[in-house]
A and B are shown apart, each in its own frame.
Chain A
Amino acid sequence: MKARITGALVALIVLCAFALGGCATSGTLHKPTTAGNAGTSALVAYAAGGFFAGQYLGLDPCATPPVYPCKTKAVNDQVLHADKVAYAAAKAADAAAGDAAAKAKADDALKALKKLGESPPVKSQVDLINAKNGESQ
């Protein structure tokens, strides 16, 4: 039974990998075409990144001993700061009405948020959650 469920899950993931466009449709913004819709896209792009930052920020603080998944104060503060920067950059990009430099700054801020998501303290939580989910299937 466990093997069948795991197999179905793997098949689903592989299917998503090959039909990535379909799987990720709701998470992909189209390339802006005007100054105004570039600003709107920057704001929504921040919202998408910020949503996931909120997922980490919403974890319970790590206790002693820690019960995973949980967040540490140090990483919490880093994510909080990165979110603040990304928010400010998105607002600036919107206010700049399509200015390329402001748009690039907003993209860089989102990249920083993403990089934080891939950093060892956060990635270790990801690995633990993945392992935990694997055990429960």
Chain B
Amino acid sequence: MSLVPPELLASLDLPAILDGLPMGVAVLDREGRVLTVNSALERLTGFTREQARGVPCRHVVRSGLCMRRCPAQWPADTEIVNRQRRMIPVRISAIPVRDASGLELFRLDLVEDLSAVRDLERRLEEPGGIGGLVGKSPAMERILKLLPAMAQSGVPVMVVGETGTGKDAVAEALHKLSPRAREPFVRVDCGPMPPESLEAELFGRTQPSGDIVPGAFARAGAGTVYLSDVGELPDALQARLVAFLDEGTVLAAGARVPVRSQARLVASSPAFPEDMVRAGRLRRDLADRLGDPRLALPPLRERPEDIEFLLAHFLAIYSAKFRKDVTGFTPKARLLLLAHDYPGNVRELRNVVEYAVMVCAKPDIAPACLPAHLLAQLAAPTGSD
């Protein structure tokens, strides 16, 4: 095997070569101390190369293997904890660098970030397969089937549902499942806000210096702009949205030249577009452009078969969150929870379970652990019988 001439090796700009690699690289001496790291590993671990230099690599890479079987049989999938306290799934491979006699001089540890792969796997395995949305009723199963198809399209989508039915979660799921998932998801609440502020928030504004403060459409880039409660938008801004949907451009407040925007629009409302048009809260031309396709989220009282499933779902989440060994409900508490009509929908049910797990000191949640207002509501009809 012909060796690379030493003068050629000496002339190489090794740091620049390492910085050009997409995965993290740590160059280690024979004792496993860091000689240098490339910029990808700096970003992954949060340690600069100056901080890492001379430090045993286990204190920089901090993988799940460092304290178990290092040097490991490589490559291996594990996880690291970076300086920002994030646990990141990674694949680590090691390459020994030897001289002509076979003596190991250095070791290169390659660290690949597997976050995107794991994220995709998790999304595919989630109940219902999508975001935080769960439900076993036919209505929810239909929505969970529709979502991936709608996500693939770039057309605007209207999400309709009462408060607490999960409109925000659906909008986010539409973004995460779409080809735009790597781009920003920008949410704008169209609720009470001065029209000038809302205009700047949506479309940006021109500063006295001439610089433009970016609005939601500029911040989203090729991602998604989600307008919550779109019927609350003033008429003039609704007209600007129509212009965006027709021409694909937005005009910042105080600017003269419109700018192209590739963002996708998702809007939500508690009422159907036709009803809002009749009530004079939504322009017909905007309703025509936003109204289809639409996702109508059923209130919880129309899908009671989901209540038990959701109770178990949130119980598992909050037991883990509060580190409590709460595993179920007493029969009486279960009956009370199933009898409630949940005007606040899934959000209310979630809050009830969160509170109950928080105050419960036994393995099963008893009626005494349920919020007092819920018990009072449930007791009222019984008392009048």
A binds B: no
Residues of A near any B CB (own CB < 8 A): none
Residues of B near any A CB (own CB < 8 A): none
